[in-house]
Structures are given as structure tokens and as C-alpha cells.
Copies of this chain bind each other. A is one copy, B any other.
């Protein structure tokens, strides 16, 4: 796995399409506005089209060269606005790559690899504000907003056949819990949501490669995956492969939490090759620059780091400006104190200097930087609870109130803002947390880590937290930060990342269905219909992980013929449902039973076989009968 060519191979493999899937594009009002979707061809001729986060990597027509970076999506849009300028940019210094950098020769080589990726940075012209929120407030619908609208809608035509029964639609009508999701998302709706701060479109002007997406409670619930570099960075392919792997499985956003060597160079690699927004926690890099000594941090070093990363194209910054000096003592009686790394760095700084946090005192200065590049705030919850018994406590809510105040300051500067949330919250306290956030932060998008509903599941915290994530997503959280099975224990490997993402795709989709998102449930309907019709291959392909579904099925019935067979490993071929259905109908006809009864009986028999072929409750553990 560590040999560079292995990662090249892995990267090539993750360029393969999902089974029976084709990338297609919805074109907007201009020819360079092309929104990707994944069309899944079913064996019965239907095509189901789904949201696609995987970027150009799964487009066979795209030429990928990670050493050159992705093609630009937005460069023309940004240029056309005429409010930005290219400039020489901040001069890189050796310290940008940390104190523990490679030997000189190796570093020179790495930098040379990154050199081809360098682009001259762009910033707002003097006096200009280039945020999507600024345009939105001025009534301008940007191409980014139109892109988001088309993306949220996707292709809805195929859904109609699953939504024809008004009684069913009425019965299944979601409970939006205060969200107001229109049937069709218009570009104007996107603009309005961004203008009022209820949604953000993270899209740094220096990240023109990004495929715009929205985070907001009136849009599909999104998920974030965290990646980070290794101390031994073997190659650009390795770093990019982590990213590609995450977006392949459905990560809508990726945070680069690197703290190792070559931190600046790695970030160049990631941003230039990422079709999804990239978030960072700039204080991590700033801390590396001062040798890991929190007290030595200064506003100047931090500010320089913000500009460094903004120029590289980072789309949102986690900034723990709500960790105020006055709140730190509130954590003293906690069971697990402060568990946010950024939060504890700032707490340490505040205490060492006995001064208010420079993130708080310089918040408007930070806004000035953010609006020059359209970097969005992800206001960090440095005082979030680290265990169930610290949930919804005074420290957490004191900080949340401050984040609400800061949100209004950010909005004054038209800087897009979302709010980070916990962490560890038992089920019965999730609603209160969500309500507090909506109220305190004026509906700025909430972006939570889980929350974990219990503490006793190390090794399975992706599950313990998917429960909380689904619930809080339903209640109004806009983006869910994933948790992997390795949480609290060690470093997630490739499979852990996938497990975390799938668990969170489940949570996000469960939330969308519960909210009644008009484009959410049809995929479930299509899959369940395929299940009932014994279209096994369609059932796999409509799932979140076709490979694993097929693999599990094939453990007992590997032959291709079984994929179209009306039976499975549970009861074997004697119970072909079509045959039994036919028999029942003949029987009903012969006996002169009423048509309705015959239909009902046919359904029952078919259902019987359906159940035998993979029903829910009564799965007998035995192989196929002979």
C-alpha cells in the first residue's frame, strides 16, 4: 500500500464507474454550467438518477493528471464578475511546511511536484466583497447558485411513477420540523437562502475546480469526511487517492486536518484535485509554525496562515472564536473537560496570557480576509461535550451564544457562516441542542459531529453516532461530520473511512426522507420495487454500496443466473414466486374466486416468496434446499 505505484493503481481503480452507472450532466443557462449526476440503468429499462459527489474522476471522458490538477469549473464565472484581481500573493516560507520537514533534497522534489499545481492567487479588488452571500444580498443569482439549484433537483422525471398514489404520498408526507423545502429548488430560492444566511455555498475564488454545493436545512443533508496527511508523505497520488476514495462513497465536503510534514505542499495537492469544498482548521498549521507551543501563537502568525490558506483555495475555515476566556472555567467540573483540539489550544492561550482570545478580538479582521476570497466560516465548537454527561451544559451553550453573536458580525460583512456542533448528546437531548442552535444562531447552518448517543461503543462509534446524526439531521442540521469505527482508538484506514461515510450517507438519507425532501424517497421506492420484483442486480446497484451488497449475496449464490432468479440462498429455487403466483391465479380462476381475492392471493403468494427470498424477520439460517 505504501509503494507509490500502488496508489497510482488505487487511484485508477477508483476512477471506475459504479456498476451500471453513467455520469451525465444537466446543462444550465450557459453551456459551461454542467451539473453532474449519476444515472443508474436498471434491468427493466428504467433509469434512476442520483446526486453525484465523485467529480470528474468517474467521468471516462475526463483526463485526470493529479500533477496538473482538475480542470476549472468556475474560473470564467469568477473572472466575469470583474471584482477580483490576480496578484503575486504571499511569499511562501520554509515554515509553511512545518518544522519537521523532510530533508532538503526530498523537500525540493516534493515542491517541484507541487510547482505545476501553483496558480497565481486571486483576491477581491480593493473595497470589493466577493462572497456568494454578498451577491445574494444584492439580488444577484450567480452561476454557483444556479448550479446548486440544478444539483439539488437532479433529474426528477423518473420519480413520477413512484409518486402516483396520492393516498400514499399523503400518508408518507414528511415532517420537516420547521424546514421549508420547496418541491423544486429554483436559483432564486438558492439566492434567497444564501442571502438570509440559512445556506452557504463554500466556494473560494481560488478553488475554481469546485463543483458548487449548498449546505442548509432546506437542502439535502450533506456529509463531511476528514482526511489528513501522513508523517511520511509518499506521493501526491497517495494524498489525492484518499480524497477520491472519500468522494467516491459520497462525501460532500472533505476537511484536510493534516498536521504532519509538508503541510502546505500537501494542501496544494488536495485543493487542486478536489471537486468538493475543502475545509481546514488553520490553527493547526499555525501551531506547527510555533513548534506546538500554544502560548507562542500570535494574531500575526494566525493571520498570515489564513491568507496562506485562502490563497491556496481552502473553502471554509474552522475558527474557534467562541472559546472566550470567561467560559474556560465552566469546563472545570466536566467529566471530560475540553475535547476539541482547537478549543484546547485557544483555552491554553487565553489562560497563559490571561487575555481574551485573539480570534474573538480580531474577529472583524478575520471577516475582512474571508470576504476577500469568499472563504466561509465554520465557527468551531471548542467547548463541545466530550461525553454524554457533559452534553448541553453551560460551557457548551455559552459558547453557542457567542457563535450566534459572531454569526451576526460575519453576516454584517456578508461572510458565509456555518456553526459546528457536538459531539456527544444522548437522544433525548438532541432536540434541545438543535432548538438552541436554531434560535441562537439565527438558522445559520448547523454542522455536527454525530452526535454520539452513548459512550460505550468504542470500535462501533460510527453506529452510535449515526443514530444521533440521523435524528439531528431530521431536526435541522445541514451537514453531518462523519465518525469512523476507529474514533477514540486510532487512525482510520481506507476501509474505516468508507465505513464512516456509508454510515453517514444512511443517516443523511434517513433525515432527508423524514423531512419529506421531495427528491429523497423515490430511490428507496425504486430499490424496494426491484427487491419485490427479484431484480437482484438492480437492488445492488441502487444501494449505497453495490459491491458489498453483491458480495454478500454471492457468498451463497455466486452464479450470474442467480441475479435474475426469483429465489435466493434462503430457500432455493423450488419457490419461484412467478410460478407460484401463476399457480395461485389459475387456482383462483378455477374456483371462481372473486378477482380481488385472486389478486390478493397472488400478492400473498408472491410476497411469501419474496420473504423467503430475503424477507425481513424470519431469516432461517440454512443454505438452499436441494
Contact with B along A479-511 (1 / 0, CB 8 A): 001011111111111000000001100110111
Q: Which residues of B contact A450 (CB under 8 A)?
A: 616
Please tell me if the beta carbons of A259 and B622 are within 8 angstroms of each other in the complex: yes
Instruction: Report the separation of the CA atoms of residues A596 and B354 in the bound assembly, to the nearest whole angstrom.
Output: 12
Q: A339-B616, A491-B621, A528-B455 are in contact. Are A345 and B464 (CB under 8 A)?
A: no
**A514 touches which one: B229, B426, B623 (CB < 8 A)?**
B426
Residues on B with C-beta less than 8 A from A488 are 531, 539, 614, 616
**Contact yes or no, B334 A460, CB < 8 A:** no
**Which B residues are in CB contact (< 8 Å) with A429?**
172
**Chain B binder among A128-136, A364-372, A388-396:** A388-396
Whether A347 is near chain B, meaning CB under 8 Å from some CB there, is: yes
How far is A532 from B294 in the complex, measured between Cα atoms in Å? 21
- Judge if A171 is at the interface, Cβ distance under 8 Å: yes
A16 within 8 A of B: no
The winner among A227, A457, A471, A553 for most chain B CB atoms within 10 A is: A457
Any chain B CB within 8 A of the CB of A556?
yes
Contacting pair B531 A387 (CB below 8 A): yes
- CB <8 Å contact, B226 and A460: no
Is there an interface contact between B386 and A616, defined as CB atoms closer than 8 Å? yes
- What is the minimal beta-carbon distance from A501 to any residue of chain B, in angstroms? 11
Kindly report which residue of chain B lies nearest to residue A231, judged by CB atoms: B622
A460 and B503 contact, Cβ closer than 8 Å, known pairs A587-B352, A601-B352, A617-B340: yes
Whether the Cβ atoms of B544 and A456 lie closer than 8 Å is: yes
Which residues of the partner chain B approach A23 to less than 8 Å between Cβ atoms? none
**A457–B506 CB distance below 8 A:** yes
Given A549-B459, A555-B490, A611-B340, A331 and B513 contact (CB-CB distance below 8 Å): no
Q: Given A388-B528, A621-B226, A467 and B470 touching (CB < 8 A)?
A: yes
Q: B351 and A510: CB pair below 8 A?
A: no
Stretch at the interface among A74-82, A152-160, A268-276, A516-524: A516-524
Assembled-state Cα–Cα distance A335/B530 (Å): 10
User: Is A88 part of the binding interface, using a Cβ–Cβ cutoff of 8 Å?
Assistant: no
Known interface pairs A553-B489, A607-B331; A464-B599 also in contact (CB < 8 Å): no
Given contact pairs A351-B600, A617-B449, A622-B228, A607 touches B386 in the complex (Cβ within 8 A): yes
- Contacts A336-B610, A457-B506, A587-B352; A600 near B328 (Cβ below 8 A): yes
Rounded to whole angstroms, the CA-CA distance of A521 and B464 in the bound complex is 14
User: With an 8 A cutoff between CB atoms, is A361 at the interface?
Assistant: no
Question: Contact flags (1/0) for A238-271 with B, using CB distance below 8 Å?
Answer: 0000100000000000000111100000000000
B614→A331 contact, CB < 8 A: no
Q: Is A342 among interface residues, defined by CB-CB distance under 8 A?
A: yes
Residue count of chain A within 8 Å CB distance of chain B:
159
Whether A622 pairs with B528 at a CB distance below 8 angstroms is: no
Answer yes or no: A114 CB below 8 A from chain B CBs: no
Specify which of B172, B449, B542, B618 is in contact with A341 (CB 8 Å cutoff).
Answer: B618
Could you say which of B466, B545, B604 contacts A338, with CB atoms under 8 Å apart? B604
A605 at the interface (CB under 8 A from B): yes
Chain B, residue nearest A497 (CB): B621
Q: State whether A620 and B257 are in contact (beta carbons under 8 Å apart), knowing that A351-B593, A514-B427, A600-B328 are contacts in the complex.
A: yes
Asked if B457 contacts A521 (CB within 8 A), the reply is no
Inter-chain contact A531/B228, CB cutoff 8 Å: no
Name A337's contact: one of B229, B457, B527, B610 (CB within 8 Å): B610
Contact pick for A491, options B521, B551, B569, CB 8 Å: B569
Is the Cβ of A490 less than 8 Å from the Cβ of B552?
A: yes
- Chain B nearest CB, measured from A314 CB (Å): 15
Q: B257, B334, B424, B621: which contacts A603 (Cβ < 8 A)?
A: B334
**B residues within 8 A CB of A568?**
489-490
A73: CB under 8 A from chain B?
no
Given known contacts A389-B168, A389-B528, is B548 in contact with A459 (CB within 8 Å)?
A: yes
Contact of B389 with A459 in the complex, beta carbons under 8 Å: no
CA–CA, A222 to B506, complex, Å? 24
7 cross-chain CB contacts under 8 A: A231-B622, A257-B620, A329-B597, A340-B615, A453-B510, A455-B528, A491-B556
Q: A332-B600, A428-B516, A456-B523 are in contact. List 10 more A-B contacts (CB 8 A).
A: A228-B622, A230-B621, A344-B611, A347-B601, A354-B597, A387-B531, A424-B616, A463-B463, A483-B616, A490-B557
